[in-house]
């Protein structure tokens, strides 16, 4: 991933010129078609859709929300090819498998379609920019939060989603970088779940059974918080509540509930609504020629715990 600009959210929201200030070559907004592709149908992307649709309505452009039926890279490739055949003007995509979409994104860009990534990047695809969390930095923040909760010692495990997802692997790299400063914290396992809740619960159960001295679990994908909270709510693992520290990503209702009930100590809350809004606004600016030198944008994270559950923005 390229080095990202350190820009406040307020500045990000103001960075795109109004479509009325577009160049002489701009299309009428009503004739512009922008498509947004999430990884898969999960609540996190509902927030992305909310932000993107709000921006599309405000900008007066035609909007398509195209949801893959699975997390396979080939599925997103087919969606991109279909959108190319329909001659859309702009595409924003959260990438499941970065390598798999490189060729088709380059082809789309060569055909004149503006393409950017959000949430999860494919840095070598020729996309114009990435909008989303600096996942390496977010992982470091997560690692530091865990280290503080454990007083710098204990066994920990990482539970991720799709093993090939660039954003998740960047978070894991950030966690490991942070934990390297704490020699008494030992990473004993890193397990994938394919972002499937039932599979994630099985993974959590196996970790707790196989590592009786486990003191911490990182849930780096959106199912990590809900799964471990549900597992610890069972009779078999109820004694682990508060003993095994849990840090998760994204404020899904079950994750927030887990914080309220004491199963989860903290959440790295991203800004999916902002990601969606900025994706549409920047695509329109690029389509109209008012943004000619796009650069990656870090939308940031907020560490949310029981003390600030009611006071953060997305």
By the 8 A CB rule, do 43 and 309 touch? Answer: no
Whole-number pLDDT of residue 6: 41
By the 8 A CB rule, do 129 and 282 touch? Answer: yes
Whole-number pLDDT of residue 71: 87
User: Residues 253, 277: one domain?
Assistant: no
Q: And the tokens for 238?
A: 């109820």
Whole-number pLDDT of residue 25: 57
Q: For the purposes of burial, counting CB atoms within 10 Å of the CB of 236, is it exposed (0-12), middle (13-18) or buried (19 or more)?
A: exposed
Q: Which residues of the chain have pLDDT under 50?
A: 1-11, 13-24
Domain coverage including residue 163:
135-269
Specify if 30 maps to a domain. Answer: yes
Whole-number pLDDT of residue 22: 42
Specify if 312 maps to a domain. Answer: no
Whole-number pLDDT of residue 11: 45
Q: And the tokens for 218?
A: 């990182």
Whole-number pLDDT of residue 18: 42
Specify if 311 maps to a domain. Answer: no
Residue 260 belongs to domain with CATH number = 3.40.50.2300
Whole-number pLDDT of residue 20: 41
By the 8 A CB rule, do 268 and 303 touch? Answer: yes
Domains held by the chain: number: 2
pTM assigned to the model: 0.75
């Amino acid at each position: 991933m390229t080095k990202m600009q350190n820009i406040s959210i307020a500045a990000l929201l103001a960075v795109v010129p109004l479509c009325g200030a577009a160049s002489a070559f701009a299309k009428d907004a009503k004739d512009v078609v922008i498509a947004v592709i999430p990884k898969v149908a999960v609540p996190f992307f509902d927030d992305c859709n909310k932000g993107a649709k709000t921006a599309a309505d405000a900008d007066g452009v035609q909007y398509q929300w195209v949801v893959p039926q699975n997390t396979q890279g080939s599925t997103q490739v087919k969606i991109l090819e279909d959108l190319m055949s329909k001659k859309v003007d702009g595409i924003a995509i959260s990438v499941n498998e970065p390598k798999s979409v490189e060729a088709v994104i380059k082809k789309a860009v060569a055909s004149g379609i503006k393409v950017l990534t959000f949430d999860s990047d494919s840095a070598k695809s020729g996309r114009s920019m990435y909008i989303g969390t600096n996942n390496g930095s977010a992982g470091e923040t997560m690692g530091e939060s865990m280290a503080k909760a454990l007083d710098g010692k204990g066994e920990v495990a990482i539970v991720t989603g799709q093993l090939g997802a660039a954003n998740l692997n960047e978070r894991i790299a950030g966690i490991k970088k942070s934990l390297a400063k704490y020699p008494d914290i030992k990473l004993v396992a890193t397990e994938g779940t394919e972002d499937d809740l039932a599979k994630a619960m099985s993974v959590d159960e196996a970790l707790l059974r196989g590592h009786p001295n486990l003191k911490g679990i990182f849930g780096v994908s959106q199912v990590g918080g809900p799964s471990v909270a549900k597992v610890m709510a069972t009779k078999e693992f109820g004694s682990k509540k508060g003993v095994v520290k849990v840090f998760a990503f994204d404020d899904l209702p079950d994750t927030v509930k887990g914080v309220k009930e004491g199963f989860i100590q903290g959440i790295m809350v991203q800004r999916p609504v902002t990601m969606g809004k900025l994706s549409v606004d920047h695509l329109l600016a690029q389509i109209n020629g008012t943004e000619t030198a796009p650069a990656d944008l870090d939308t940031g994270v907020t560490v949310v715990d029981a003390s600030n559950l009611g006071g953060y923005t997305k």
